[in-house]
Structure 1
Amino acid sequence: MKRRTNIPLSVYVPGDTFIHRMKPSWKILILIVFILVTSIFCRTIPLAAASVLLPALAFVIAKVPPKIAWSQMWPPLFILVPLAAFQWWARDFEYAVVMFLTIFAAMMAAFLLTLTSTVDAIMESLEDSLRPLARFGLPVETISLAMSLTIRLIPLMFETVYEVLDARKARGAGFSPLAFGTPVIIRSIRRARAMGEALQARGVGD
């Protein structure tokens, strides 16, 4: 069975564009501001659509190949589309479209961060930015480690989802939320437990 390698947050596209050269800590700050602004002010479909165009333009500036960009962004649609459909049924069409576009725009911006910055660069930049706060008792290394683990675990989570889907497809099984979700949750718990034991064995957090 062919193993997927282009999974979200696991691909880095080398480049020498302005976006590549920007410090990852600044990218994170811009990402947070972007998410806050779009969440608060994008209440209509045109504004929500504009929020998607901004990261799309940034993808063009960063010269990210369309094939790689799409490979990062299509998996979340399996969650976003049903969620938007439910919101359409529960509330109204405009609310569902606005919600879909603003969330998708935020995910595009987050993917751009990891496509143009290595995980090591993100963590090093974040730690350098937070280091002045260490004098006030802020656990800078712990925060950087938590961020690093979070970024590394997201692609592993998608990989687990793909493996379960491939296994069910190989057996000719139909889609069942319970039969799909149970092995994903069990594998995720096992991975988290193994990682926790590995960190404990290395004395992290002592």
Structure 2
Amino acid sequence: MITSLYRPGDSLLHRCPALWKLLVLMVSGICLALPFARWWFLAAITTLCISAFIVGKFGLSELCRQLWSARWILAFTVIAQVLFQPWERMAANTIRVLDVVLLASLITLSTPVSALLDGVLSLLKPFSFLGVNTDGIALVISLALSAIPLVSSNMRAVKEAHIARGGHGGVMAWAVPLLVISLKQADELAEAMDARGN
């Protein structure tokens, strides 16, 4: 069964309009993707993410939980670069990925899916005059933002269950269940969208 990652609350982050959060994510993502982004900028975005977890009243425990959930994504990022990039660039790229994951997590933790979808629609509204299917694009973006922390959460649950069973069988012992869970959730989502006529 698909569950929402939204955590109800009354913090400043919760009250912030979804559109503003999406704009911060979009601008930060674009700036982080620039190859000439300086270390001070990466440090500033990371500090912003940590501060947002505190302001949102999620606490450092939730930040650590999100970091732990994203450990395999970060590990893959490091492994993919270790033989081809100097360590400074590898570290910078890993921090970029980490910051995007944390920003996406903050949005899904503090914003209901309905408000997130409305925010994406507002962001894309100017393009509707060009004949762009903004409703479809908004739905895809909302699902993508929700999928990042959801997959990390699934991976954490599967790995914990795998370790509880003794941790035998290698990567395939937890990768296959993770794939099955993800496909099942995707199937449930497709059925829900069909029922709503999307």
What is the TM-score of this pair, normalised by structure 1? 0.75
- What code does the residue aligned with 2:92 have? V
| Residue in structure 2 matching 1:193, options 187, 193, 196 | 187
Shift of 1:175: 5.7
Determine if the alignment matches structure 1 residue 50 to structure 2 residue 9: no
Which of the residues 7, 15, 30 maps onto 1:12? 7
What's the offset of the Cα at 1:23? Answer: 1.7
Distance 1:40 1:130 in 2: 23
TM superposition shift of 1:202: 4.5
Please, which moves more after superposition, 109-118 or 56-65? 56-65
Unmatched runs of 5 consecutive residues or more in structure 2: none
Among candidates 140, 148, 172, match of residue 146 of structure 1: 140
Q: 1:189 Cα shift?
A: 2.4
Whole-angstrom distance in 2 between the partners of 1:148 and 1:41 = 27
Note the aligned Cα RMSD (angstroms). Answer: 3.1
1:52 is displaced (CA, Å) by: 1.4
Percent identical among aligned pairs is 25
Equivalent residue letter for 1:81? A
8 Å contact 2:19–2:119 — kept in the other structure? yes
Q: Give the corresponding residue for 2:24.
A: 30
Shift of 1:80: 0.6
Deviation at 1:123, TM superposition (A): 1.4
1:161 equivalent in structure 2:
155
Contact residue 13 and residue 116 of structure 1 kept, 8 A: yes
- Does the aligned pair in 1 maintain the 2:11–2:55 contact within 8 Å? no
**Residue 134 of structure 1, CA deviation:** 3.6
Give the counterpart of 2:77 among 64, 75, 83: 83
In 2 relative to 1, CA 99–167 (structure 1 residues): closer, same or farther, beyond 3 Å? same
Name the residue aligned to 1:4.
none
Structure 1 Cα separation of the partners of residues 169 and 41 of structure 2: 36
Q: Distance in 1 between matches of 2:151 and 2:76?
A: 19
The CA deviation at 1:28 is 0.7
Give the structure-2-normalised TM-score. Answer: 0.77
In 2, Cα distance between the equivalents of 1:74 and 1:62? 19
Contact 2:101/2:149, CA 8 A, preserved across alignment = no
Structure-2 separation of matches of 1:98 and 1:154: 20
Unaligned segments of structure 1, at least 5 residues = 1-6
- The AA in structure 1 aligned to 2:179 is I
Q: Structure 1's 94 and 159: CA in aligned 2 closer, same or farther, altered over 3 A?
A: closer
Query: Of the candidates 105, 122, 131, which is equivalent to residue 111 of structure 1?
Result: 105
> How has the CA–CA distance of structure 1 residues 38 and 172 changed in structure 2, closer, same or farther, with 3 Å as cutoff?
same
Q: Report SS of the residue matched to 2:69.
A: coil
Which amino acid counterpart does residue 162 of structure 2 have in structure 1?
R
Count of matched residue pairs: 196
Q: Deviations 1:168-201 (Å, cap 9, x if unpaired)?
A: 2233233622332223223322332343244335
Q: Equivalent residue for 1:120?
A: 114
Are 1:51 and 1:101, in contact at CA under 8 Å, matched by a contact in 2?
Answer: no
